[in-house]
Amino acid sequence: MTTGSEMNATQSRAMVAQLKRSQIFRDYEQAFRDTTGLPFNLRAIEAFDLPFHDQPNENPFCALMGQSNKSCAACLQLQKKVEVEARLEPKTLKCFAGLCDSAVPVRVGENLVAFLQTGQVLLHAPTKQEFAKTTRELLKWGTEVDLKRLEEAYFQTRVVQKKQYASILRLLTIFAQHLSTLSNQLSVTEASAEVPAVTKARLFIAEHQGDELSLTQVASAVNMSAFYFCKTFKKATGMTFTDYLARVRIEKVKNLLLNPHKRVSEAAYEAGFQSLSQFNRVFRRIAGESPTVYRERLHGAAG
């Protein structure tokens, strides 16, 4: 995973595919759809297709819109705008027909990984005037569509109260935090057809993470030169040795902090960090927040 910059689209697609295979994602996806009746998707960055096409709970009005090139283009433009504006925080935008689409960013530290999306709803009851305005827009574009079917579908659009929709987006935001943690774990534990030396290096790092650990030591433990080990490890894991070790140690700190009596400084030194300033900097980069804030979220402000 890249650090200090956005993950690229290829890495994002690979991570999204992994997350979608996880049990926690499948359980949440089913529960969200069953409870809210709304469409739901996890999408990679720069995946500029229609997010809910042929998905359960797709709005019939939006499905009809997607069949026409002109209206489909308008929906795709909205998707692009939503994703540009939702890189740092949840964002809801209205399409030309007044329906809302929302995206919630999934971030790991400074990296944008993906978007959780829902929408295709109205926040107020549909009106004849609004449908007439939508029709005029479609005719102006030269869209060929069965207006009778479209009107029926429009007036069947799910209406959600603003307060309820805000709560639904809050659920997505909480789940995005879970996926963020899961993404980081996948970055650390993913073992993709590795050369044996890299697997051996991972085990050595896991056993000695609490010690002062250098690249030279690990390379020596797997009988490789530091230069060749550095290249091989980066190619196999997508991370430098330093970044991988930092992520392993941060996961260890997070596990230690599950104990409400464990102090942040104790956890940091136990996980192998040699200075608190370095630990705070690394934790914030990888977790996206300070260790103190993370601990308070785990146990409440009184913890």
CATH number reported for the structural domain that contains residue 69 in this entry: 3.30.450
The structure tokens listed for 288 are 């996206």
**Is 1 within a domain?**
no
Count the alpha carbons within 13 Å of 123 in the hemisphere toward its beta carbon: 15
pLDDT level of residue 300 (50, 70, 90 thresholds): low
* Three-state secondary structure call for residue 125: coil
Roughly how many angstroms between the first and final C-alpha of the chain, as a whole number? 32
Give the DSSP H/E element, type plus range, for residue 169. Answer: helix 162-189
What pLDDT score does 189 carry? 63
Pair of tokens at residue 221? 């433990």
CA–CA distance, 53 with 58 (Å, rounded to integer): 7
pLDDT of residue 30: 94
pLDDT of 301: 45
Picking from 168, 186, 204, the residue at the C-terminal end of a domain is 186
* Shared-domain flag, residues 40 and 165: yes
Q: Are residues 115 and 168 in the same domain?
A: yes
Residues 6+ apart with CB under 8 A from 143: 68, 70, 71
**Residue 86 in 3-state DSSP?**
coil
- 192 vs 217, higher pLDDT: 217
Burial class (CB in 10 A: 0-12, 13-18, 19+), 5: exposed
Residues 172 and 236 in one domain: no
pLDDT at residue 245, rounded to an integer: 93
75 and 113 share one domain: yes
Residues 164 and 210 in one domain: no
Last residue of a domain, one of 146, 162, 186: 186
The length of the chain is 303
Q: Which is nearest to 295 in space by CA: 287, 303, 284, 283?
A: 303
Which residue range forms the structural domain that includes residue 244?
195-299
Structure token pair of residue 198? 């890299």
Are 111 and 204 contained in the same domain? no
* pTM for this prediction: 0.63
List the structure tokens of 251: 């996961």
What pLDDT shows up at residue 7? 66
Convert the pLDDT of each residue in 55-68 to its tens digit.
889 999 998 888 77
**What pLDDT does residue 122 have?**
96
3 lies in a domain?
A: no
Q: Is the pLDDT of residue 303 over 70?
A: no
Which domain CATH number covers 282?
Answer: 1.10.10.60
Helix ranges (H only) for 66-127 are 69-85
Residues 137 and 47 in one domain: yes
Give the model's pLDDT for residue 190. Answer: 57
**145 against 170, higher pLDDT:** 170
Q: What are phi and psi of 105, to 5 degrees?
A: -75, 140
- Which pLDDT score is estimated for 249? 93
Percent of the chain clearing pLDDT 70 (strictly above): 93
> What is residue 302's predicted lDDT score, i.e. its pLDDT?
40
Give the strand order in the sheet containing 91-94: 41-44, 111-121, 100-108, 91-94
pLDDT band at 111; cut points 50, 70, 90: confident
Check whether residue 143 and residue 173 sit in a common domain. Answer: yes
User: For residue 32, what are its two tokens?
Assistant: 């969200």
Domain stop point among 148, 169, 186 = 186
pLDDT at 109: 74
Give the residue, 239 or 165, on which the prediction is more confident: 165
Same domain, 60 and 78: yes
Domain count for the chain:
2
Residue for token pair 């659009």: 157
Mean pLDDT of the chain: 86
Percent with pLDDT over 90 in the chain: 48
Residue 170, in any domain of the structure: yes
Predicted pLDDT of residue 194: 60
Q: When comparing pLDDT for 12 and 29, which is higher?
A: 29
Instruction: For 68-106, write each residue's pLDDT tens digit.
Output: 777 777 888 888 888 888 888 899 999 999 999 999 999
Q: Does some domain include residue 2?
A: no
Q: Which residues pair with 41 in a beta bridge?
A: 117
